[in-house]
Every structure is written in structure tokens, then in C-alpha cells.
Structure 1
Amino acid sequence: RYYSGRNRYWADRGIPGPEPELLFGNLRAIWSYNNPRQLVLKEWTRQFGKVYGYMSGQRPLWVISDFSLINEIYVKRFDNFYAHARAELQESQDCADTHMAEARGGHWRKLRALSTDAFSNKAMRNIFPTVKHSSQLLIEQIEKKQGEEIDVQRYFREYTMDIISKAALGKEGTEMFNNVYVDWCTDFFLNFRPLSHWMFTLPSLFPAL
């Protein structure tokens, strides 16, 4: 009875959306390996309009692509909507190791204030030489393949990870096309299937505590 009632969450509020399945909600649609979530949401937006809802397991999610409403939430009333949704296995209260993407209330404001300097204009200027150096290395690698076909995505994966390794992880020198992190990240994003992993699926199927 709980699950059937939960599936009516958006319908009872007069908000359109895709029909959810019992227990899973719309999880199987948005976590399809062959049909990326972004394309699924784009199709639902075409079907149901700029404001609709769907069920991620037992969690109701509201999708908004109306610019005036987005401006109202993210700009005019940001103080009321800054909190991020909690992960299913996350503690109900913030603790010392809760990071900014999951923090709420005063803890979020404290972390936000501490991180502001890291993204200041001065900080961005300081990493410009690092970005420039990686860009030059990328160009050199591409020029070596002049006249040949190349996998552009692979080159930009290497370029991006080279910058992250130096600017965020403090690595010295470059490991472009010899960076183990690229292989790890590629394997994770290309081969990871949430529905096949109980840790990601199971918590979504039960009521929040």
C-alpha cells in the first residue's frame, strides 16, 4: 500500500510525469546504460513540458527547465533552496566530514565561506600557467598525428586529467598519455551500471528513515 501510494506522489499534486513502476519508480528508465539519463530527461521534457516530476526509487524528483522559475529558485530565493538532496545512505545530520555538496544550513555556509578564496579571480589566475602548459602539451601530441585520424575524446580525457592532477592533486610534471587515473576514470564511467550494484539500488527502494 505504501508503494502504490508513493507512486501517486506527483499525480496527487497535479504534476505530470512518466508512470512509475512499483518499487523501482522510474529508476530503470533513467539508469539505462543504452539510453543516457540526459536523453531520457530531454524526452520527458518534450512529453510533459518544462515542469514535471518522476520517482527515483522512492524519492520524488522535480524537473524544471522553465527559465523564470529557475531564476526564482537559484537567484531570487536561493537562501531557501541552496540545500542539496541527501544521498540515501547519508547521515540525517551534518557532521565534521560532511562535504559542501551534501552540507546544509550553517555548516554549508561555513564551508562555502572557506572555499570562496579557492575560486577567486586571483586563484584562477594562479593556475593559468598550469592550464596553458597542459594545452601546449595537448597541441604537441595532436601535431604528432598530423594527417591521421585521432580519437578526440581520448585526447581531451588526457588533457583534463593532466590539469586536475597538477592543479588539484599537486602532481609535478606531466603524465599525459601515461596517467593511471585516466584509465580508472574511463573504466568507471564506461562500465559502471548502477542497477547491477546493490549498494546504489537497494537504498533507493525503501522509505527514508
Structure 2
Amino acid sequence: MDNKLFSVLTAPQRFFAGIEERPVNLGIPAVIVLLMGLVSAASAYLVTGVTMQILPAEAQSMIGLIQGISVISAIIIVLVMWVIMAGIFYLISMAFNGAGDFKRVLEVTGYGYIPQLIGGIISLPLTIQYFASIHLPETTDPTLIQSAVSGMMKTPSMMVVSLISIVFLLWSANIWIFGVREARHLTTSNAVITVGIPVLVSLLFSVYGLVA
């Protein structure tokens, strides 16, 4: 990561200052989000491989296909969520008379995913280590399958992964505030509200997943 891009993490206010005077560049943000999608795909591959152990022997031949679908789906979901998050920022900022192109909001939103990419990379070894040691008994009972999957996600290792995700989401939120402020010409307080609403909802879902 070059020094200029690194400043997104350390000094987002300076990085985004004057961004409206530069041409919109979705290339780097798209690469950031795609890399995040690949990390998510790796986790999906591991989780799917383990959960498919539950299937009876005659269905084991489907594991490769299901894992492939999971990998592709994980990448697509991350890319779609990038657009959705940018769209939410854009729509909420309209309440504050925000002015600025949607592509610009998409650009700054993509840069804001860098912390979550880092968090995903940090979490991946924990995920690999945990799921490599999991062996589930075969069953066709949907209740037992749901219970087994739910139990895996409530272990200390997975709770640590969830906490890492929360911490790095908050870091992303800090970057998004300055990016959206410049992209939509908002005051800092209005940018905090614009970013804070969807981030708070996401945090509530994450916390609920930890305690439910």
C-alpha cells in the first residue's frame, strides 16, 4: 500500500480533501472491494466444506459444486453490498441537501472498505485454524443441522472473529464520514448521521449475532 493510499487509514480528512476537483476513479476502490470479496470467499469455502460434512455419504459428491457456488456468491454479495452501502449514504444525505454524483459516493465508499479488508485478512487464519479442526456427524435432520451450524458460530474463536469485524467496521465508518462529507458536500455532523445510521444497524445485527 503506497503512502498516499495508506493515508486513507491514518488521515482520511486529508486524503479526501479536494476530491471533488479530481476525476472519479472507481478502479482502486473496485480492487479493494474485490479483494475483500476474495477473503470473504475463502471463508465461505471453509465454512461450506465443514457444514457439508453433515450430508449423507451419497451427497458428498456435491460438496465441490456447493463450495464453488458459495465462493462465487460471496464475491458477488460483497460487490453488491458496496453499491448498496453507497446508495444508502447517497439517499440519506439527500435529507441534508447533499450535492454530488453517486459515482463519487461509490468511490469514497470503496476506499472505506480498506479496514474491513485488513480485518478479514487478520481473521482468516483464525477461521482456517478453527474449521480445519471441525468434524461433524452425518445427519439429515434440519433441526440438528441448524443447531450444529449455530453452535459453530458461537465458539470463542468465531466470537473473536466477530469482534474483529466490529472493530474494523467502526474504522471504516470513520473513513466513510470524511469521504461522504466531501463527496456530498455535507457538514461533519450531517455526514456522521448519514454514515452512522446504516453502520449502527449493521452493528446491532452483529451484536445480536454474538449474544442471541
TM-score range, shorter chain: under 0.3
Decide which structure has greater strand share: 1
TM-score normalized with structure 1 length: 0.26
Larger radius of gyration: 1
**Greater share of helix:** 2
